[in-house]
Every structure is written in structure tokens, then in C-alpha cells.
Amino acid sequence: MSATMSSMTLARDSLQAHEPSAGWSTWLVRQGYQRLLVLRAQIDLYYFWEKRWFFFVLGFGALMLSLAPPHGLSQEGWVMLIMSGAATVLFITHPVPLPTVALLIIVGQVLLVGVDSDIVAGNLMTDSVLFIMGSLMLAVAVVKQKLDKRIAWSIVRITGTRTVNVCFGISAVCGLMASFIGEHTVAAMMLPVGITLISLTAQNPARIRNLSAFILFSIVFGCTTAGIGTPSGGARNAIMIGYWQEFFYNPANPATRRYVIDYLTWMLYGYPLFIAQLLFVTPILYFTFRPERQDLSRAVAKLRLQIELDGPMTPGAWLSVFIFILIMIGWITASQLIGMGTVALLGTCAFLVTGLVKWEDINSGVNWGVVLLYAAAISLGVEMQTTGAASWLADQVFALFAPIGLGSGLGLLAGVAILTAAVANTMAPGAAVAVLGPIVLKLAGPTGADPIQIGFITAFASAFAYLAVASSPASTIVFSSGYLKISDFLRVGWRMALMSMILLLLQAEFLWPLIDHWR
Amino acid sequence: MTVLDQLKMLFGRPPVSAMAGTAAVKPRRRPPTHHEKAVQKQLDELRRRRRERFRILVCIDGSEEANEALRMAAYLGRPDECDIILLYVRHVDHGLASGGLQVRVARQNMLDWGIELPGIRDLREGLELLKSEGMTLEGWTYSIAHTDVWGDPLGDNKVEYRDETTGRSIVLKLKTAPDTASGILDQYELGPYNLMILGESSRWHSEFRSIFFGGSVVQKVAMLAPCSVLVARKGSHQKTGFFICTDGSARSTDGVKRAAVLAKTCGAPITLFAVAPTLKGRPFAREAVENARALLKSMRIEVAHVKVAVGDPAEQIVRHGANYKLIVVSDEGRTRLQRVFKGSVSYEVVRDARTSVLDVR
């Protein structure tokens, strides 16, 4: 630096940094203007800006509560409706940690609606919630078994090394597994497989952007399309089964027995749609992202080497496969008797007792806040139904749907499917079903539609959240790898959504009546 | 002579930041414990050392725009007293989107396969880019630090390369935060930094829309950062010169002085620019640039050109500054609410410019 600059240094004289604001305990003891400055800096930086939606919801909710309920709706129903709307906005914008929304729902039911706190607490733990909790614990246990390399190798052995075949193999195997153990589990397991294939193909990921997208989306869509296949494919399915049972099943009336949907019945409705979608996944991906390499033989050879270095399957790995098959058999055969949640918890216990997974892993791998959130959302749905808010809202939706030809038959199903897919694209599918479920099931009343069909449409359409990254578990997990762009999801998502929607409505029109007849 | 005295001498009045700096070491009401005292002393010492250096925070995400930000950091951060901190912010998953399974499980699985997480890869590529821009790290020591945050064991990771002879350091920081913008702002609290550099964003809402729909990371940081922010744009590294704008106000004069010091250390030619809203105001604009030129002359900083234009200030700055490496504007210090109703020239320039822009605060 020149001599003329000796009296001024860069650090002091150019763009002098402000002192960072200290913690709250420090500014509390500061005096006068200093305190005001620091307080203002704190507010500017974090508080009101970050939490603006929370305050907006709080203020708007308070305003709505002060108004009289609309005609035909009880005061309790009005409160539940406002709470449900507020929860939906908070789900989408999450200005506060999501479990906070769950706690607010619980507190709101007691304080605003006046439901006995024991009843609210009782509503929180249903078999659906036990199932969601159990399957999340199982997910961690399964991911920890390191079966992913074996699965990858067995895919490649069947499909050969052509890119299109490998990708179809990945989608099919991801789908088959995800339909039983949940899409998040399979996405977490198969992500390294996809990235290994990409990184072994070329050093510079920018050169094979399309190939990367092709492989990674094969995992994403294999998982998401399969989530509808069985009840254990996702939390949303368990939630819908719980709602049917809660709203329509009456043990004293044998005719309502059909509302208790068992594992196999769900598969009858879900599996054909999953398989039909699976056939379209690879062609859609191929035409959207034309891969730069048509053959993956170099990557496959290196993958094979990695797997051979790992040696043969350990007894522990065989044991976990065995437990896993037992859990699936349990879901199919015993879930009617002891509940799906109990089977999932039994499976988790088996993994823990045999020492295949540590509790610490399960404890840190499961987001317990989400379990609480689903519990609270389901109890909110049950209260929506009890207070009549769901029926009132269903009437309003019907009044909107009817004039545009969506009031009955296939039109109604299409309306419900589009509504659900739109909501699921803005928040997670599980939350979308929890919030929308009671309303659309109540739509069955005025429209004369079958609640089972409407329920299936809602649960299935919630899986069509292909457009946004944060709206499906598999997308979020694969996106966390950093190889995909948000625009990639939009590019391929609308094609997938369109295809899935057409297939869903075709099956609802032609296949489901046959299944109903057969049941 | 203390730093504060030097500042008083140079700028006439101590800036707020310096006042806040002295308040931090004021004695507390409650006598602190022995341990607290030791920690506070350590922190004060660290902060004091950092404030004697010019610290640039470069936020990267692996994109082309982020590479431009890195090139700009290498250009501005050549002198020995500059520290460069590369920051990659990784999201904490809210759980609902990943169906209740922590994304960490998937990331851990990737690490088990020996695959690099994206942030690590991008930081390493960033360091390589700095090296290719002429920064040699030969003979430097390095240290690694790790902190668990947000219940995420992968947490925050830091690798610091340090030249013991000059005290200069380059830091690679992988940080976990609920969202990128708040992670960057939170990093400032751990700083402080003199300058934040970010790559241009393609998504930029208007001030009013951003209240409801949020904005891009760059927009949020530009709005909320307490220090100067530089938004780097593609292609500006091929251009030369600082295009420093003034309106004659005390705040903008202060900004001109500070940016000119930076330009001088980089060896960049300076062009001073002022805009008159109408033809009638042209003499005032001319007076503003001449005053600024005289001021810089008194600081022994040469000005290559002066320019005056008539019209909408933001529009004229964007148009005339397009061929320079860097447009420098002074922040008006308006609050969010004031910006919604009155607008902000500096903010408009940051948003609309076709070259890199430095918003001086």
C-alpha cells in the first residue's frame, strides 16, 4: 500500500463493519439510545420480518373470531373453521417451527372451543398416528441396514447397462419398495445409488445435467407414484383410513363395515394406478431430459467393484430382510385385527431387540415434531366433523362446484382431485389430506357420491405434488443432494401431474366400479 | 491514538457502529461470573482483531452467479489485510416435507457411500476459483472446526487457511440454517464483516410484493444486511473502473469516501457521477460531483472522470454505469416502510443494474 494510505487502513476506512448486535440479555441492561438502536436492529433482522405470517394469521384470526358465524354454522364450528384455515396458512408459510402449530391446535381446541382436555389428548393418539410413528421408526431402521448397494447391484444385473433400462429398473424397484415401506425410506436409501452412477459417469456434473436429472427423477417418481400403492406407502393413506373409520363406521351397523378399509382392499384400488403410472415415468423423463449418455457401462463396472469390495451379505443383513418380510406379512394379514400401527411398532421392536438399529439412531432420525403435527391435524379434522364445520364447508364447496359441472359423478371426482393436488403442491401431502379429508368426505352427502371413492381420490391426488420441491418427501430428500434445480421440477412436474390425473380419473370411471361390485 | 479517535478525526463524528462497539465493553450491572468474564474477554479480543481487518463474506451456492461473486471477492480482497470467508448455507429440514424422516439420515447415507455433500463440493470449487484468480495458499496453516447446530450433527463446519506472516485468512464455512437468507444474516452476527458479496438473483419482487411473497435470498439480504452489500453480475469481471454515485448529501459523501478507499486499494480508476432530476438542478449535481472530487483529492485519491446526467436517478445510474466493473451507490438509510412508499434509488439500482453493484451502508 502506498505511503499516502498510511494514515488510513482499508478495514477502518472502507465499508466499516457495524458491531453485531449482542444477545437479548446484553441489550436488556444497556441504557437509552444504545438500547433503542440494538432493539431496532434485532427487530429489523429477525423478528417481525421472519414471523410476519404468524402475526398476520393471529390478527386475522382474532378479527374473524369477533364476527358472528355465517348462517348455518355453530359458534364451535366457526372457531374450528378459523383454526383450520390458520393452521393451513401456517403449514404453507411456516413462520414458526411446525410443531408449534400442532401445540397451538391442541391448546386452541381446549381454550377456544371448550373441548375437554382429556378428550383432546385422547384424540391425539389414534392407530393412524401410531402407524405414522412406527413407520418413521422403521424407515430409520431400514436405511441403517446398508442394503442399498445390494439393491442397486441387483437392479443393474437385471436391466443391463443401457441408460433407459437402468432408469426404468430404478423406478420399478424404488416403486415396489416404496409402496410397502414409504417413499421417504426408499428415497433416502437410493439417493447414494443415483449419485454414484452420476459421479462415476463423468467428473464434471455440469456435462451430464440431463442424465443426472433422468436418474434422480427416476428415484423421485418411482417413489412418489408408488406411495399410493398400499396403506403403508405414506402417512396420508393412514390418515384417510382413520377418517373413514372415524366418520362412517358404526360397529352396531354391519352395512358400515365396508368403511373399514384393510390393507388388501387398499392395494386393489391403489396398485393398478401405481403400475399404470410407472409405465409412463421413464418415457416422460426420457423426452423431458434427453440423457447425454445412452450407456452407463463405465459407472456400472465401478459400482460392481465397490460392491465386491464389501463382501457377501452379512447375517445381520439377512435378518433385517427377514424381519422386514414379516412386517409386510403382518400388515397384509393382521392389520385388521391389531391395527397397522401395532404391526409397525412390533417391527421396530424387532429391529431394536435384535440390535440391528440403536435407539439413538431412531431418536435422531425421526422428526418427532411431525408425528405430533399429524396427531394434531387429525384431531383438528375430527373436531371439524364433530362441530359441523366440515359439513358446512362441504356445502360451500358443492355450491361452487355444481354450477361448473363438477357437482356429481366424474366431474366431482375431477374437481376433488384438482383441489387436492393444488393444496398438496403448496404443503405436504399428509397435511393436505389431514386438512381436506373431513371436508371432501362430507361432500359425499349433498352429491350422493361414494365416500370411499372420494377418499381414494383425495389420498391418491395428494401424491401428485410433483411441481414443488418441498411438497413430497422423496423430492425433498433427493433435492437435498444439490444436483437438481427447482426449475427441473416444474419442467417435468406438469407432464407427470397431467398423466397421473388422466390415469386416476380413467381408473375411477372404469375400474373402481368393478372393484366395488366385486367387494 | 485509539481507532475511535482516528475515526473522529477522519469523519468528524463517530459512526453509530463505533459507538455500539464501545457499549459492548461497558461494565454490566450484575457482576459477571469468572467464567463469563473469561469468555467475554476472549470474544472482545477476537472481535477487536477482526475489526482491524477487512473481512469479506462471499455467499455461494455453486451457481455461475456465485462464481462471479467469488471473482469479485478475489479482485477486491487482494490486499494483505483482507480476509475472505466463503459461506454455503444448507437448509434445516422442517420435517413435514420429508415426511417426518430427517433429511440428515439421507445425507448421512450419502457420506457413508463416500459421496461429498453439495456444500462441501461447492466450497472446494470456490477455493479453487480463488486460487485460479491469483491467491496462493502455499505455506499457509489450516485448522478445522465443527459445531452442532439446530440438532443437526452434520452442523456447521469451518476450515480456516491462515498465513501466519501477514495474519491473512481464507475461511470455508458450511452452515446449517432454517433458510438461506437468515443463515447469511446470522453469520454476520458471528462476524462482523465489512462487505457481503452475493451473486445476482433471477427472482426479485417489488418492495410491496416482497412483504407478502418474500423475495430471493439476495433481495432479503440486501434489505436486511447491516453492512455493505455487493451484488455481483455475470460479465462484470471483464469491465474496469468504479462508477461512484453521489447526490451531495452527507450520507452519500460518506459513502463516496469509503468506496474511494476501496477503489484505490484495488487500483481501479474512479468515475464520479451525479444525476439532476431536472435541467434546473444540473448545477447542483455538478457541484455535488466537484465537491466529491475535491474531497477525494484532499485524501490524495485521484478521480479519472466526472459525469452529470439529467433524468430519473436510478434509470440514469443503471444506463451510464453499465460499462463499469462496479456501480457504487449509498444506501439512503430508509426503513422498510419508507421504501414501500418512497422507493429507494439504491435499491432500484441494485435490482436493475446490468453490472455489479455495491450498496454502501
For residue B149, the model assigns a pLDDT of: 66
Q: Which residues of B touch A26 (CB under 8 A)?
A: 24, 28
Cell of B102: 430427517
In 3D space, the residue among B250, B253, B258, B257 whose CA is nearest the CA of residue B228 turns out to be: B258
- For residue B16, which residues of chain A lie inside 8 Å, CB to CB? 18, 37
Are B84 and B56 contacting, i.e. CB atoms less than 8 angstroms apart?
A: yes
**Cβ(A190)–Cβ(A142) below 8 Å:** no
In the structure grid, which three cell numbers stand for residue A489, read together? 421440477
Model pLDDT, residue B345: 84
Q: How far is B313 from chain A (nearest CA, A)?
A: 23
Instruction: Say how many CB pairs under 8 Å bridge A and B.
Output: 230
Contact criterion met (CB < 8 Å) for B10 and A8: yes
In this structure, what is the dihedral angle of CA atoms B234, B235, B236, B238, given to the nearest 10 degrees? 150
Cβ within 8 Å, pair A476-B62: no
In this prediction, residue B79 carries a pLDDT of 84
pLDDT tens for residues B109-147? 888 888 877 788 889 889 999 999 888 888 888 888 877
Residue pair B135/B169 in contact (Cβ under 8 Å)? The answer is no
Select the residue of B6, B119, B228 nearest A12 (Cβ to Cβ).
B6
Task: Quote the pLDDT of residue A93.
Answer: 83
Q: HEC string of A466-496?
A: CCCHHHCHHHHHHHCCCCCCHHHHHHHHHHH
What is the model's pLDDT at position B206?
64
Q: Is B169 strand, coil or helix? A: strand
C-alpha–C-alpha distance, residues B200 and A380, integer Å: 43
ipTM of the complex: 0.79
User: Are A11 and B106 a contacting pair at CB < 8 A?
Assistant: no
Q: What is d(CA B107, CA B255) in angstroms, rounded to the nearest whole number?
A: 44
- Residue B207 confidence (pLDDT): 60
| Set of chain A residues whose Cβ sits within 8 Å of the Cβ of B336 | 44, 49
- Amino acid identity of A486? I
Q: pLDDT at position A338, please?
A: 87
Closest CB from B91, B103, B113 relative to A477: B103
Percentage of chain B exceeding pLDDT 90: 30
For B297, the closest chain A residue by CA position comes to A4
pLDDT for residue B328: 93
Q: pTM of the entire structure?
A: 0.79
> Residue B356: which pLDDT band, with cuts at 50, 70 and 90?
very high
Nearest in space to B43 (alpha carbons), one of B29, B24, B26? B24
Residues B262, A1: C-beta atoms closer than 8 Å:
no
Task: State how far the Cα of A515 lies from the Cα of B13, in Å rounded to an integer.
Answer: 83
pLDDT in tens, B224-276: 788 899 999 988 888 999 999 998 888 888 889 889 998 988 889 999 999 99
B112/A13 touch (CB, cutoff 8 Å), yes or no: no
CA atoms within 13 A of residue A115's CA, in its CB half-sphere: 26
DSSP state letters, A182-246: -HHHHHHHHHHHHHHHHHHH-S-GGGGHHHHHHHHHHHHHHHHHHTTSSGGG-HHHHHHHHHHHH
The 3-class SS string of A240-282 reads HHHHHHHHHCCCCCHHHHHHCCCHHHHHHHHHHHHHHHHHHHH
Cβ-based contacts of A153 with chain B (< 8 Å)? none
- Chain B: nearest CA to A389, how far in angstroms? 25
**Rg of chain B (C-alpha set):** 22
The three grid cell numbers given for residue B30, joined into one nine-digit string: 450484575
Cell 444497556 belongs to which residue? A30
Which of B101, B148, B296, B299 is the best mutation test for A, with the most CBs of A within 10 A? Answer: B101
Taking residue B228's Cβ as centre, other Cβ atoms within 10 Å add up to 26
Which chain B residues have a beta carbon less than 8 Å from that of A139? 101, 105
For B224, which residue in chain A has the nearest alpha carbon?
A: A45
* B176-222 tens-digit pLDDT: 887 788 888 888 877 788 899 999 876 666 666 665 556 678 888 88
Q: What is the pLDDT of residues B6-21, one digit of tens each?
A: 433 433 333 334 333 3
Q: Which residue has the higher pLDDT, A403 or B293?
A: B293
Between β-strands B141-149 and B152-163, what pairing exists: parallel, antiparallel or unpaired? antiparallel
Q: What 8-state DSSP symbol labels residue B329?
A: E
Give how far A234 is from chain B: nearest CA, Å: 8
Q: What is residue B289's predicted lDDT score, i.e. its pLDDT? A: 92
Q: What is the mean pLDDT of each run of 10 residues along chain A (519 residues)?
A: 48 64 58 58 61 90 91 88 91 85 92 88 87 91 85 86 92 92 89 88 82 93 92 89 89 86 90 93 93 87 82 86 91 85 93 92 88 90 88 86 79 90 86 89 83 92 87 86 85 92 92 83
Query: Per-residue pLDDT tens for B53-78?
Result: 889 999 998 888 888 999 999 999 88
Residue in B95, B101, B228 nearest the CB of A369: B95
CA distance A504 to chain B (A): 23
- Contact between A473 and B195 using a beta-carbon 8 Å cutoff: no
Q: Do B105 and A143 touch (CB under 8 A)?
A: yes
Inter-chain residue contact B101 with A185, CB threshold 8 Å: yes
| Option in A94, A182, A430 nearest B94 (CB) | A94
Grid coordinates representing B300 are: 490524495
Determine the distance in angstroms separating the CA of A3 from the nearest CA of chain B, rounded to an integer: 11
- What residues in A contact B106, CB-CB < 8 Å? 143, 187-188, 191, 477, 480
